[in-house]
Chain A
Amino acid sequence: MRAALLELCEERGHAGLTAAEIRRRAGISEAEFGALYEDAEDAFCTVLEAMRDEFVAAVAAAVAPQPSWRAQMRAAAYAMLEFWVADPPRARYMLVEAFSAGERASLIRDQGMEAMIALVDVGRRDPEAPASLTRATAEALAGTIYTQMQRIVIEERGPEEYRQIVPELMHTLVLPYLGPEIAAEELATEGPPPPPAGADT
């Protein structure tokens, strides 16, 4: 089902996609489809939900061993990019198709965004972070991340170009919390942080 939806979305976009088209591509009967999904939108959103969970899990796994918020952010940024690079049709599904697939898809995306916000908002605990910052900064920055990710998928940039955007993204992310000097360091830093000594690899 997932492969069928990815193929169809890549070929003709999700707009106007019917249950019959999905069934035909997946090679399943009407009864089989009906037992799993209410309609085409339900199928689209169920697959989207599974992908969102994979995305959140991939980012969480990259972040977990890192000792500082700054290292966590860089690990998260590269984990996100590797997630998109590993499966371009999935990236398109999540970052392009899902942005024009109705209210339920919008809600699923928002839940993924919540996880990103929580991750970014940890930056406020850093002793260097200004006390005036609120959760709103993390909300805006999570939107920034989505905007940049969406852009590179829409512009169909290659993996290397994907990776080049991370230092700029990191600059934007750490600037409000850690200031311009650390942000400038991030702009000049390439690659994910190494796993800490003793961490499982």
Chain B
Amino acid sequence: MAEGGDRDLGAPGELGPLPGGHHGLSRQQVAESQRERLLAAVATLVAERGYTATTITEIAKTASVANRVFYANFEDKEECYLAAFDAVADYLRDLVSAAATEAGEAWHEQLIAAFRVILEFFDAEPELARLCLLAPFAATPAINAHFREAVAVAIPYLAAGRSADGGEELPESTEDSLLGGVVSQLGRRLASEEGQLVELLPDLTEFALAPYLGARRARKLAAQAAA
């Protein structure tokens, strides 16, 4: 499995190819740039044509590197995909963490802020949205398992809502169920190519908060989130 967490993909908007010609960059800088371009390339191609139809040769070509450079960085396509996925997940985790801190003390405010920043991020980066939310369901067993593990990271944050009124009595599988539902809904909206993901914010807010805060309060907060 790829160890993508310690490698910086950079902000997704910065994933451009290295300028050609004599650039005066060190060997290490070139290697880092090549790796970033490979990650950007796999994201572009998987978003365009799906994981199965994407080949290593195409990834290398799109990244403007030789096939041997691909193999110097990754064992195979799966490892390259997982590195790109992890880089996005790490970036998103930082984004969510910053948004939650800014949102204030209340659990529900942090959760709504997290939803909002995730939805806005994926709306701004449709290729990365497809890479992270659609491809894992049509790729390989390892990728599917990796995706489920990545989503499960959010379980304790959601479960923090159990200290709210009524939340303690919820079944053990609640967080897993809610996250499965949220992810599935994002994937469906993305696949339909209709509208923006952020339009789902009120629905997701009501869906995720209601078990912890009750339907009425969740509805009110969802309406506020939409405003």
Chain A: residues with CB nearer than 8 A to chain B?
A: 13, 15, 96-97, 99-103, 105-106, 109-110, 113, 130, 132-134, 136-137, 139-144, 146-148, 151, 165, 167-169, 171-172, 175-176, 179-180, 184, 187
Contact = CB atoms under 8 A, between A and B. Distances in A.
Contact of A99 (B137, B172, B182, B200): B137
A139 B185 contact: yes
Contact of B203 (A113, A130, A136, A171): A136
A147 B181 contact: yes
Given A134-B203, A179-B215, A103 B50 contact: yes
Contact of A106 (B137, B176, B207): B137
A144 to B, nearest CB: 4
Interface in B57-78: none
B101 interface: no
Interface of B: 50-53, 134, 137-141, 143-144, 166, 169-174, 176-185, 187-188, 191, 200, 203-204, 206-207, 210-211, 214-215, 219, 222-223
Query: Which 9 residue pairs spanning A and B have beta carbons closest together?
Result: A143-B184, A147-B180, A140-B181, A136-B203, A168-B171, A144-B181, A106-B138, A144-B177, A140-B185
Contact of B210 (A142, A143, A148, A175): A175
Contacts of A102: 50-52, 138
B187 to A, nearest CB: 8
Contacts of A134: 203
A151 B210 contact: no
Nearest to B78: A15
Given A100-B144, A143-B183, A180 B138 contact: no
A130 B134 CA distance: 31
Contact of B184 (A106, A133, A144): A144
B210 A132 contact: no
A180 B166 CA distance: 9
Given A143-B181, A167-B171, 4 more contacts: A102-B51, A148-B173, A176-B206, A179-B215
A113 B184 CA distance: 10
A167 B172 CA distance: 11
Nearest to A131: B219
Contacts of B174: 168, 171-172
Contacts of B50: 102-103
Contacts of A133: 206
6 contacts: A136-B200, A137-B206, A143-B183, A144-B181, A147-B179, A172-B171
Nearest to A143: B184
Contacts of B53: 103
Nearest to B139: A100
Contacts of B215: 130, 175-176, 179-180
Nearest to B166: A180
B182 A13 contact: no
A108 to B, nearest CB: 11
Contacts of A99: 137-138, 144
B159 to A, nearest CB: 14
A201 to B, nearest CB: 31
A110 B191 CA distance: 10
Given A103-B52, A139-B188, A147 B210 contact: no
A62 B184 CA distance: 25
B140 to A, nearest CB: 5
A175 B214 CA distance: 9
Task: With a 10 A CB-CB cut-off, give which of A99, A142, A167, A171 has the most chain B CB atoms.
Answer: A99
